Structure 1
């Protein structure tokens, strides 16, 4: 059962792409170079890397950011950019398993929210659903745990103010 958590605003460095499910590795593969770039500047990530879903387009396409939380100021080289996850109340559900199960886990949270009368921080925009805070936080380092069935991912959905 999902829980509700308060989260402070969080600065991050990210890259953004619009991809379909089959193209998702194109954005996922940007995380290691982002982390490496930060390390090259002496910056230690302030938390686990994540994917932030900005727009859910029709036809199973997403505008998604691959991001790494940071503290303090930093100006990344393009195409990376600085962003900020907004503070607020979030619904949290932790998923354990391979990435192929994330869509079902996400759908379960959204179904639960509909049953509970939850109002998400989402608006209908010209290109699809625009989310203020919808993330998959990658709690497991695949280099330390190579078995995808053991990977831990926090699903976070910001509630409307």
Structure 2
């Protein structure tokens, strides 16, 4: 069930790229680049990994960041970027099941917000913070059908 939550600022480190819809799995495999970058600097993630959809354009491609929240703001280098997920109100929902079901879960969250008359913090296809947070560790939950993924989409203040 969808709900609205208030979240504080969250610094993060991520890999940024432009990706076609079909290229998301290959891009996701590069999360290891972020893990290695953090480890080399002795920076520990403080929560689960996420996908941040900065631009959602099904035809031209997606601009994505995959990364981790961390305690403090850092400086990125190369393809590694840093930033802060903004504080504010977020529409949230949890999807239990294979990541293939996330498109339907996203449609449901978007429809729920529309029914409630909520406005996204977005400008056209550019989003301030549209997140998929992967709560299940594949080493502990190898069956993708048992994964839990939180959707967190920032609402206009």
| TM-score above 0.5, yes or no | yes
Aligned equivalents of 2:62, 2:37: Cα separation in 1 = 25
1:133 maps to what in 2? 129
1:8-19 superposed matches below 5 A = 8-19=8-19
> In the alignment, is residue 142 of structure 1 matched against residue 138 of structure 2?
yes
TM-score with structure 1 length normalisation?
Answer: 0.92
Q: TM-score scaled by structure 2?
A: 0.94
- Provide the residue aligned with 2:87 in structure 1: 87
Contact 1:54 1:65 in 2 (8 A): yes
Q: Aligned pairs, how many?
A: 157
Cα 1:60–1:93 change in 2 (3 A) is: farther
CA distance in 2, matches of 1:30, 1:71: 22
Alpha carbons 1:16, 1:27 under 8 Å: kept: no
In 2, Cα distance between the equivalents of 1:87 and 1:23? 30
SS at structure 2 position matched to 1:24:
helix
CA RMSD, Structure 1 to Structure 2 (Å): 1.4
Unmatched runs of 5 consecutive residues or more in structure 2: none
Are residues 144 and 58 of structure 1, via their aligned partners in 2, closer, same or farther at CA, if it must alter by over 3 Å? closer
